[in-house]
C-alpha cells in the first residue's frame, strides 16, 4: 500500500447512515436560540412597541386589561423553540445513538405536555407579577397548571426509570457478580420513591398541611398494616426471595414433584410454569419462601442424571458397563468434552434378584431432562437386548423334594386315624355325663326326711 493510499485511524468511525442533517440542525438551533433574543428584543421594542417597555391590551376607555412584558412574550417563543429542539433533534438523535429503531416506551406525548404546561406556568407567573388586578385569578390558573405538570412529570420519571434506567442499572450490577435479579428490587424501590415524590409535590401545590397529613397517614397505615398482614408478608417475602439469590426468572425448579420454570416474581406472588401439565401456578411469596425448592439451573445449566438398571446374575458386569457407556456416547445431549463430566457406570450392589448398575451422565441443558431421560431408557433397553443381556425382575424359586415311604405312611395314618380319635373322645364325654346323673338322688331323700319334722311339730301342738 502506498503512503498516499493510507487513511488515518482515530479509533472510531462514522457509519453511513449517520444523521448529519439532524446533528448539524441541533447545533444550528442552539445558535439561533442564543442570538435570537437580542435580535427580537431590538426589533420588538424598537419597532413594535416604539420604545415602550411593555405591550398592553386595553379596553374602550383606554385602561390596560392585560400587560405583556418582553419577558412574557419571550417565554412563549421559548416554548416553541424547545418543542422544536426536542421533537426534531433530541429525541431522534437519542434513539439513534442508543442503536434502536423504536422506543421501549415512546416519551413524545408526555414530553410535549411537560414543555407546554411548564412553559404556560412561567408565562402566567410573569403575567401575575405585572397585572395586580388579575393576581387572584391567575394564581388559581398557575396552581392548576403546576399540579398538571407534576402529574406528567411523575409519569415521565416513573416510565423512564422503569424502561430505561432499571435495565441499565441491573446490567451494571450484574457484571462480575452473581445472577441475582436486581431489576425487580430496583423497580420496586425506585417506583415507590418516585410516586412519593409526585404525591407530595402535587399536594404542596395546593398548600396542604403535611403535619396533619402525616398523622392521618400514620393512622391509616396502622389500620392497613393490621388488615393486610398477609399482603405485607407476601410483599416482604418477595423482596427477600430476590435478595436471597435462590432463583430468578427463567430458572427451572422442582416444585412439589413437578418441573416448573420461574416466569415472574411479583410484589405479592410468584408465577411459575408447570412444564408437565402446561399450566401457570401462582404461589404467594410467603408460602414459597417457606418451602424447600430445588433449583435445577444452579450452579449452571448442567444436570447430573442417573439411569439405573438391574441385570440377571448370569450377566457379565464388564459387558454391561461397556454397553451402557456406548449408549451415553451416542447421545448428543450428553456432555462428552469436559473431562470432569464424562459418562461413567457404577456397579452399585448385589440385590436379591439383580446386579444393579447406574449410568451417570451430565445433561447439557436441564430444560430437556424429561425428553433425554425417556430417550436414554429406550436406548439402554435396545442396547442390552442387542447384547443379549437380560434385564432381571424380582422372582422367587420354590424347590419340591420326594418324601420317603415311611414319612408318607405316617401322614396317611394321621389322616385316617384322626376322625376315629375324635369319635372316641365324643363317646367318652357321653359316658361321663351319664354316670354323673345318679348323684342327684340323695337330694330327694333329704327332702323326704324333712317331712316327719313337720308332723312332729303338729303332734306336739
Element (H, E) at 208: none
User: Which of 302, 299, 293, 318 lies closest to 360, judged by CA?
Assistant: 302
Domain stops at, among 295, 315, 346? 295
The C-alpha cell that represents 238 in the structure block: 418477595
Residue 354 falls inside a structural domain: yes
Question: What contacts 56, CB < 8 A, 6 or more positions away?
Answer: 64, 65, 66, 67, 68
267 and 340 part of one domain: no
Tell me: the pLDDT tens digits for 394-410? Answer: 777 777 666 566 666 67
Residue 115 falls inside a structural domain: yes
Distance of alpha carbon 59 from alpha carbon 48, whole angstroms: 19
Question: Where are any strands of DSSP class E within 334-426?
Answer: 344-350, 355-363
**How high is the pLDDT of residue 389?**
92
Distance of alpha carbon 240 from alpha carbon 285, whole angstroms: 9
237 and 206 part of one domain: no
* Residue with cell string 404525591: 199
* Beta bridge mates, 362: 304
Residue 202 falls inside a structural domain: yes
- Pairing mode, if any, of strands 64-69 and 54-58? antiparallel
317 and 282 part of one domain: no
56 and 163 part of one domain: yes
Distance of alpha carbon 37 from alpha carbon 77, whole angstroms: 9
Q: What Cα–Cα distance (Å) separates residue 97 from each residue in 101, 266, 275?
A: 10, 33, 41
Query: Does 299 sit behind a cis peptide bond, omega within 30 degrees of 0 on the bond before it?
Result: yes
The C-alpha cell that represents 258 in the structure block: 413437578
Which residues does the chain have with pLDDT short of 50?
A: 1-12, 175-179, 431-461
Q: Indicate the number of domains in the chain.
A: 3
360 and 236 part of one domain: no
Q: Which domain holds residue 269?
A: 232-295
Which phi and psi angles does 340 have, rounded to 5°?
A: -85, -5
Q: Say if residues 241 and 188 touch (Cβ distance below 8 Å).
A: no
User: Which of 148, 192, 184, 178 lies closest to 166, judged by CA?
Assistant: 184
Residue 405 falls inside a structural domain: no
Q: If DSSP codes are grouped into helix, strand and coil, which group holds residue 95?
A: helix
Tell me: the pLDDT tens digits for 254-265? Answer: 888 888 998 887
54 and 156 part of one domain: yes
Residue 271 falls inside a structural domain: yes
**How high is the pLDDT of residue 174?**
58
**How high is the pLDDT of residue 64?**
67
Q: What number of other Cβ atoms are within 10 A of residue 77's Cβ?
A: 14
Amino acid at each position: 500500500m502506498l503512503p498516499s493510499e493510507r487513511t488515518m485511524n482515530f479509533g472510531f468511525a462514522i457509519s453511513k447512515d449517520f444523521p448529519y442533517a439532524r446533528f448539524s440542525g441541533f447545533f444550528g438551533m442552539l445558535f439561533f436560540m442564543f442570538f435570537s433574543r437580542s435580535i427580537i428584543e431590538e426589533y420588538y421594542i424598537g419597532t413594535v412597541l416604539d420604545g415602550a417597555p411593555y405591550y398592553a391590551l386595553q379596553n374602550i376607555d383606554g385602561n390596560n386589561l392585560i400587560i405583556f412584558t418582553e419577558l412574557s412574550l419571550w417565554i412563549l417563543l421559548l416554548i416553541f423553540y424547545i418543542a422544536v429542539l426536542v421533537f426534531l433533534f433530541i429525541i431522534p438523535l437519542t434513539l439513534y445513538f442508543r442503536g434502536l429503531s423504536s422506543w421501549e416506551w415512546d416519551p413524545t406525548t408526555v414530553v410535549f405536555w411537560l414543555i407546554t404546561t411548564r412553559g404556560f406556568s412561567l408565562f402566567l407567573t410573569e403575567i401575575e407579577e405585572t397585572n395586580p388586578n388579575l393576581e387572584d385569578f391567575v394564581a388559581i390558573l398557575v396552581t392548576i397548571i403546576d399540579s398538571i405538570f407534576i402529574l406528567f412529570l411523575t409519569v415521565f420519571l416513573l416510565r423512564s426509570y422503569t424502561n430505561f434506567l432499571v435495565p441499565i442499572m441491573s446490567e451494571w450490577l450484574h457484571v462480575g457478580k452473581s445472577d441475582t435479579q436486581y431489576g425487580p428490587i430496583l423497580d420496586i424501590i425506585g417506583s415507590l420513591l418516585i410516586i412519593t415524590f409526585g404525591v407530595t409535590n402535587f399536594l404542596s401545590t395546593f398548600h396542604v398541611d403535611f403535619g396533619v397529613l402525616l398523622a392521618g397517614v400514620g393512622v391509616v397505615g396502622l389500620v392497613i398494616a393490621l388488615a393486610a398482614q398477609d399482603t405485607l408478608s407476601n410483599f416482604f417475602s418477595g423482596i427477600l426471595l430476590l435478595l436471597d439469590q435462590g432463583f430468578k426468572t427463567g430458572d427451572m425448579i422442582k416444585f412439589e414433584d413437578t418441573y416448573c420454570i420461574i416466569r415472574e416474581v411479583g410484589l405479592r406472588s410468584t408465577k411459575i410454569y408447570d412444564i408437565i401439565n402446561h399450566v401457570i401456578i401462582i404461589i404467594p411469596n410467603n408460602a414459597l419462601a417457606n418451602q424447600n425448592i430445588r433449583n435445577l439451573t444452579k450452579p449452571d445449566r448442567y444436570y447430573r442424571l442417573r439411569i439405573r438398571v438391574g441385570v440377571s446374575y448370569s450377566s457379565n458386569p464388564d459387558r454391561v458397563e461397556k454397553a451402557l457407556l456406548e449408549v451415553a456416547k451416542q447421545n448428543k445431549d450428553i456432555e462428552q468434552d469436559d473431562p470432569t463430566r464424562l459418562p461413567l457406570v457404577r456397579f452399585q450392589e448385589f440385590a436379591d434378584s439383580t446386579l444393579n448398575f447406574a449410568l451417570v451422565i451430565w445433561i447439557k441443558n436441564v430444560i430437556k431432562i424429561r425428553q433425554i431421560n425417556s430417550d436414554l431408557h429406550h436406548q439402554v433397553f435396545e442396547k442390552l437386548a442387542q447384547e443379549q443381556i437380560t434385564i432381571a425382575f424380582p422372582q422367587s424359586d420354590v424347590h419340591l423334594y420326594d418324601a420317603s415311604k415311611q414319612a408318607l405312611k405316617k401322614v396317611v395314618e394321621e389322616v385316617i386315624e384322626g376322625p376315629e380319635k375324635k369319635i372316641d373322645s365324643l363317646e367318652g364325654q357321653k359316658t361321663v355325663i351319664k354316670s354323673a346323673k345318679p348323684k342327684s338322688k340323695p337330694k330327694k331323700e333329704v327332702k323326704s326326711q324333712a317331712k316327719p319334722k313337720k308332723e312332729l311339730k303338729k303332734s306336739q301342738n
